[in-house]
Each structure stands twice: as C-alpha cells, then as structure tokens.
C-alpha cells in the first residue's frame, strides 16, 4: 500500500505534477495528518540502560534465582538414582565381546548390585545406551510414520526413506527403516535377594512407559484390532529382528504390533548419543513398605543387543522422579550461580552508579 504512494511519480508525464500546479480544481489538501503516529510522536517507553536503572533488576534476579536454585538442587538431591553398568561385570563383558546380530543363541548374564537406601514411591527402570547416535540424520529419517500409523498402503509399500531397510526378499518390511531395525531387544529382569538368600522377582510393569499420544494416536496397527497375523501377512520382519512385529507381545493384544510400548519408546529417537529409555515401571506398593527396600539385588540380562562395534555401553538405571524430572543437579547449581553472579554484579553496579551516575547528573555533561 505504501509503495503505491511513491511510485506514482515514476509513471510519466501524464501524472499531474505534484508541486506548483495547484490549479483551480485541486481541492485536496496535501497537508499530512498531524497525528501522533504519522509524526512519530507515539507515547513511548524509552528505556536507557544505565547502572542506576538496571541495578534493581540485578538484585531482583539474584533474589529470585538463588531460592529457585536451592529448591531445584534440593529436589534433585532427593531423587534417588542408581546406575548399573552391565558390561563391567565379567559374564556380561564376555557376552558383549562375543555377541553380534548374527548370533542365534542368546547370551545371559546376571549383574549383582545393592541399594544403600530404600527407594520410595514409583521407581522407573531405564536402559541406557551410550555412544549410540540415534540422532544421526540418516538414521532419524529412516522410518515411515504413515506405516506406523496403520496406513495400509504404506504397509505394503513403505516410504523410500526406509531404504535399505525397505524390503527384504521382495516383501515390504514392517516396520521398515533403520530405527525399527535396530530395536533394543535385551531383556532385563530384576530380583531382590532377601537377607536369607532367596530371590524374589520384582514385578516390572510394561504399561504406561510410552507417551499417551504415541500409543493412542501416532502408532496404530493396520486394521485396528484385527488379527495381527493376518494383517501383517505379506510383510517381512526387519532384518535384525528375531520375531515379527506381531509377535512382540503375544500375551497382550494392546501391546502388540506397532503399539508395543517398548517399540514405541525406541522409535522416539534420543536427542543425544548418551541416552536412557524407559524400560519398566516398578509401582509403589500399597502398604508403607518401600518400593525397593535397601539390600542386594540381581539384574538378569538376556544379552541380545550388540554394542561393541561402536564402543557403546549399556546401563540399567533405577530412578525415582520428582516434579522436575529425573535427577539433575545442574539446573539447581546453575540457578544458584547465576543468581549469585547477578547479586554480585548488582553490587558492582551500585558502586559504579555512585561513582559515575552522580557525575552524569552533575554540571558538565561534556566533561
């Protein structure tokens, strides 16, 4: 709109000249409107940052941040977390050294560990991988979301992005792509060793580990709740998989096929090369006993997943959760540091303000 005003003059000679030709017919007054907007006189807040004006801000920030930081730090400290690195233990180390995708016989090993303090409330059990670049560009792309969403056409002809895990033996792979192909397939089991030496299996709940939206919206089996074996007829399982997608959890039809929660969790690619993924939940017991009492435990690992080729490491993490997520002291410390720095700077500014601010308002502006 604005442009049209100026280009009016470029036209050519036909345009009546703007100036000096106020013939009798020119009634229109060209005087610009004397409005605050057009004269650039809109009421405005003009913040000029000087030591004097900003120093309250620094104190305020300091005063707000330090308590928040302390709060976060305390919260984080209250979270109980335990990490078990399985490869460090000899049997599992052997497994990890010898195991590859081609191995047919699973390698099992057990890792003993102990809790120094009991875990109350719900305990989340994670598996962790390090040096695993789930965020590699081509890896991330190698999936077909329509297929996973239950689209039958995509089931039969998956997206080109899935190459080279798109077809196998001229049958489409379901689920296609590198992410699915590299599904974490270790089995972890947890046993509590009573003081008397007997092993009690700890109940691990596999429901609710995936996001609600993923489980109910993003991932769907083709054909809804039909017989999965029939639905996946004519497709092939991913190369590295031992069993087909419809055999992931035959016991529970709500956890089978594409909506298998372990599968869904894996498909949500981790942001960083060292990551953990939720594996199971250990629900709080109804009575007052802690979820995991202190004592000795054994982690039974069915070793299927090779990580040696990329120098990866596997971990198992047990953790409780607070309102701000898992254990991470960083944020609390950072808040406290920033708050203190602000407070300190506030004091520095106060000094500067006393030294220069007065001079600024004193006699000679130019001195």
Partner 1 sequence: MEQIHWVRHRWQQLVAAESGRGRYSAPDAVPTKSSPKLHNAQLTGKRRTVIARHGPYQHEYDSVSKGCQGNGIRTTKYSLLSFIPMNLFQQFHRVANLYFLFLVMLNWVPVVEAFQKEITMIPLVVVLIVIAIKDALEDYRRYRFDQKVNNNVATVYSGKQQTYVDQRWQDVRVGDFVRLSCNEIIPADMLLLYSSDLHGICYIETANLDGETNLKQRQVVRDLPQGSELTPENFHSRIECENPNNDLSRFRGYMEHPSNARVGLHNDNLLLRSCTIRNTETIIGIVVYAGHETKAMKNNSGPRYKRSKLERRMNMDILWSVVLLVIMCLTAAIGHGLWLRNLEEASFLIPDTTSPALAGFYLFWTMIIVLQVLIPVSLYVSIEIVKLGQIFFIQNDVDFYNEYLDSRIQCRALNITEDLGQIQYVFSDKTGTLTENKMVFRRCTIAGVEYPHEENGETAKSLSCKSLSCNRSSVSLHTLTGHSEGEGEETPSPTLPRHSAFSSPMEKDVVPDPFLVQKLNCLSSPLFLLTDASMELTYIVDFFMALAICNTVVVSSPNQPRHVVQVPEVSRSPLKSLEDIKMLFQRFSLPRFSTLSPPHTTESTRSFTGRLFARGKPATFTPSPSPIPTKREHGSWKDELIYEAESPDEAALVHAARAYHCTLRGHSLERLLVELPGMGSLAVRLLHILPFDSTRKRMSVVVRHPLTKQVVVYTKGADSVIMDLAELPKGAEQSESRQGHIREQTQKHLDNYAREGLRTLCIAKRVLEEEEYEVWLKRHAFAETSIENREELLLESAQRLETNLTLLGATGIVDRLQEEVPETIEALQRAGVKVWVLTGDKQETAINIACACKLLRSTDHLLTANCGSKEACKALLLELRAEMECGEAAEGTSGFTLVIDGRTLEFALQEDLKGDFLELSRCCRAVICCRSTPLQKSQVVRLVQDQLQVMTLAIGDGANDVSMIQVADVGIGISGQEGMQAVMSSDFAISRFKHLRKLLLVHGHWCYTRLANMILYFFYKNVMYVNLLFWYQFFCGFSGSVMTNSWVLIFFNLLFTSVPPLLYGILDKDVSADTLIKLPELYKSGQNSKAYLTSTFWLTMLDAIYQSLVCFFVPYFAYAGSDADMLSFGSPINASSLLIILLHQVIESRTLTWLHALLLMGSALFYFSFTLVFSVVCVTCSPPNNPLGVDKLQMSQPLFYGVCALTTMLALLPRFLFQALHNSICPSDTVKAALMDQLNPDDYCRRMQRWNQTQAQIKTRSLVIDVEDSDIKVPDPDFRLPSELKEGSAATGSLLS
Q: Which of residues 15-74 bind partner 1 (CB under 8 A)?
A: 15-22, 26, 29-34, 38-40, 42-55, 57, 61, 65, 68, 72
Site for partner 1 in 323-362 (CB under 8 A): 323-326, 328, 330-331, 334-335, 338, 341-342, 345, 349, 352-353, 356-357, 360
Looking at the Cβ atoms of 55 and 155, the one nearer to partner 1 is 55
Looking at the Cβ atoms of 189 and 214, the one nearer to partner 1 is 214
Compute the least distance from the CB of residue 251 to partner 1, in Å. 25
* Number of residues located near partner 1, criterion CB under 8 A: 122
Transcribe 13-36 into DSSP letters. Answer: TTSPPSSS---TT-----PPP--T
Q: Which of 310, 348, 336, 276 is nearest to 126 (CA)?
A: 276
Compute the least distance from the CB of residue 253 to partner 1, in Å. 22
Compute the least distance from the CB of residue 181 to partner 1, in Å. 7
Contact with partner 1 (CB under 8 A) among 244, 269, 302, 340: 269
Compute the least distance from the CB of residue 307 to partner 1, in Å. 8
Contact with partner 1 (CB under 8 A) among 87, 142, 235, 304: 142
- Across the beta sheet with 313-319, the strand order is 81-85, 313-319, 123-130, 275-282
Cα separation, 312 vs 305, whole angstroms: 11
Separation in Å, CA 340 to CA 49, 74, 121, 334: 21, 17, 34, 10
Site for partner 1 in 72-131 (CB under 8 A): 72, 101, 126, 128
Contact with partner 1 (CB under 8 A) among 73, 188, 306, 318: 306
Q: Which of 147, 99, 154 is nearest to 267 (CA)?
A: 147
Q: Is 185 in the site for partner 1 (CB under 8 A)?
A: no
Q: Is 366 in the site for partner 1 (CB under 8 A)?
A: yes
140 phi, psi to nearest 5 deg: -60, -40
| Cis peptide bond N-terminal to 354, omega within 30 | no
Cα separation, 122 vs 292, whole angstroms: 9
Q: Is 133 in the site for partner 1 (CB under 8 A)?
A: yes
Site for partner 1 in 208-247 (CB under 8 A): 211-214, 217-218, 240
Compute the least distance from the CB of residue 173 to partner 1, in Å. 14
Looking at the Cβ atoms of 113 and 211, the one nearer to partner 1 is 211
Transcribe 225-249 into DSSP letters. Answer: TS-HHHHTTT-B--TT-SS-GGGS-
Cα separation, 311 vs 308, whole angstroms: 5
């Amino acid at each position: 709109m604005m442009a049209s005003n100026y280009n009016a003059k470029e036209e050519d000679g036909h345009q009546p000249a703007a100036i000096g030709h106020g013939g009798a017919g020119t009634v229109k007054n060209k005087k610009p409107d004397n409005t605050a907007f057009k004269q650039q006189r809109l009421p405005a807040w003009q913040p000029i940052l000087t030591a004097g004006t900003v120093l309250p801000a620094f104190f305020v920030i300091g005063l707000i941040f330090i308590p928040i930081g302390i709060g976060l730090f305390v919260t984080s400290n209250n979270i109980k977390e335990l990490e078990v690195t399985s490869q460090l233990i000899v049997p599992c180390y052997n497994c990890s050294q010898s195991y590859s995708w081609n191995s047919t016989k699973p390698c099992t090993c057990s890792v003993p560990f102990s809790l120094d303090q009991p875990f109350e409330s719900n305990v989340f059990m994670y598996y962790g991988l390090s040096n695993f670049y789930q965020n590699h560009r081509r890896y991330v792309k190698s999936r077909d979301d329509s297929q996973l969403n239950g689209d039958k056409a995509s089931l039969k002809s998956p997206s080109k992005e899935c190459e080279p895990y798109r077809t196998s033996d001229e049958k489409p792979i379901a689920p296609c792509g590198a992410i699915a192909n590299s599904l974490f397939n270790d089995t972890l089991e947890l046993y509590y060793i009573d003081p008397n030496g007997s092993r009690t299996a700890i109940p691990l709940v596999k429901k609710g580990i995936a996001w609600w939206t993923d489980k109910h919206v993003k991932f769907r089996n083709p054909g809804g709740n039909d017989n999965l074996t029939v639905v996946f007829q004519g497709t092939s399982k991913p190369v590295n998989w031992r069993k087909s997608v419809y055999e992931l959890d035959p016991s529970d039809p709500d956890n089978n096929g594409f909506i298998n929660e372990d599968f869904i969790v894996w498909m949500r690619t981790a942001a960083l090369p060292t990551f953990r993924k939720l594996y199971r939940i250990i629900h709080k017991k109804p009575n007052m006993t802690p979820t995991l009492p202190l004592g000795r435990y054994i982690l039974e690992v069915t070793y299927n997943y090779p990580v040696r080729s990329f120098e990866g490491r596997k971990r198992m993490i047990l953790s409780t959760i607070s309102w701000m997520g898992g254990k991470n002291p960083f944020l609390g410390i950072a808040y406290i540091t920033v708050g203190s720095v602000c407070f300190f700077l506030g004091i520095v500014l106060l000094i500067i303000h006393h030294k220069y601010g007065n001079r600024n308002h004193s006699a000679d502006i130019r001195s």
